[in-house]
Amino acid sequence: MKKEQYLGVSVSPLTYDQIINDMKTRIQAGEQSTVIAVNPEKVMTAQRDPLVKELINNSTYQIADGVGMIIASKLKKGELTERVTGVDMMGRILEMAAAENLGVFFYGAKEETVKKAKENLEAKITGLHVAGYENGYVKDQDVLLDKIRQSGAKIIFVALGSPRQELWIRENMPKLPDVKVFQGVGGSFDVYSG
C-alpha cells in the first residue's frame, strides 16, 4: 500500500473512499486492519519516543489528520490532497458498517458519553447496529474482552487517548480475531455525544 514518509513516520496518501474500499477488501479477505490518526504533533512525538513511531508505522492506515500534514506533503510534492480526520473517518466506517450489516463496538470515554454517542449515531445512520459498548474506566479486561466477543462486532472504536488506545489495540487484536477493524478515536465519542 502507498505510504509517504515524514521524518521516518508513515502516512497513507489516501482519501476516505480509497481507505473504505481497501478496508472492505481486507475484511472480505479476513484480514485485520488498524487505523491511526497522524498529525504534526504526533510526528514530533515519534522523534523522541520510538514506541509511538512503532505504533504508527505498524498500523494499516495512517490517516493525515491535520492540515499541517497536507502542507508538508505539498512541500515535498507528495500525494496528500485532503485531510482525513479521525472523527470523520469513524463516521465513514460507521456508514460502511451499516451498509454491509457489520456490528460495531464502542470502547472508551465516560459511561454517559459513550452511551449518548451510540444513541446519537444510531439515530443518524440508518441501519447502524452498535452491538455493544463499554466505558473507558472498566477494571476487568477479561470481562470486557468477553463482552466484545459476545457482541459479534466486526469493528471496534477505542477512545482512551493516545497512545493508550493504540497500546490497547496492539495488545488485544490477537485476542479478538473476529474483529477486523480497530480504530483509535481519541475524543470522537465526546464529539458524537454532543
Residues near ligand UDP (CB under 6 A) are 108-110, 136-137, 159-162, 186-187, 189-190
Whichever of 41 and 82 has its CB closer to ligand UDP, that residue is 41
Whichever of 103 and 161 has its CB closer to ligand UDP, that residue is 161
Longest Cα pair distance anywhere in the chain, in angstroms? Answer: 48
In the complex, minimum distance from the CB of residue 27 to ligand UDP, in angstroms, rounded to a whole number: 25
Residue 57 burial class via C-beta count within 10 angstroms: exposed 0-12, middle 13-18, buried 19 and up = middle
In the complex, minimum distance from the CB of residue 160 to ligand UDP, in angstroms, rounded to a whole number: 5
Whichever of 72 and 109 has its CB closer to ligand UDP, that residue is 109
Question: Cα–Cα distance between 17 and 7 in angstroms, integer?
Answer: 26
C-alpha cell at 16: 476516505
Within 13 Å and on the Cβ side, how many CA atoms surround 179?
Answer: 28
In the complex, minimum distance from the CB of residue 50 to ligand UDP, in angstroms, rounded to a whole number: 19
Whichever of 31 and 137 has its CB closer to ligand UDP, that residue is 137
> Left if phi > 0, otherwise alpha if psi is -120 to 50, otherwise beta: which for 165?
alpha
In the complex, minimum distance from the CB of residue 94 to ligand UDP, in angstroms, rounded to a whole number: 17
Whichever of 27 and 90 has its CB closer to ligand UDP, that residue is 90
In the complex, minimum distance from the CB of residue 190 to ligand UDP, in angstroms, rounded to a whole number: 5
Residue closest to ligand UDP, measured at CB = 136
Helix or strand holding residue 45 (H, E): helix 40-48
Contacts of 1 (CB under 8 A, 6+ apart): 12, 22, 60
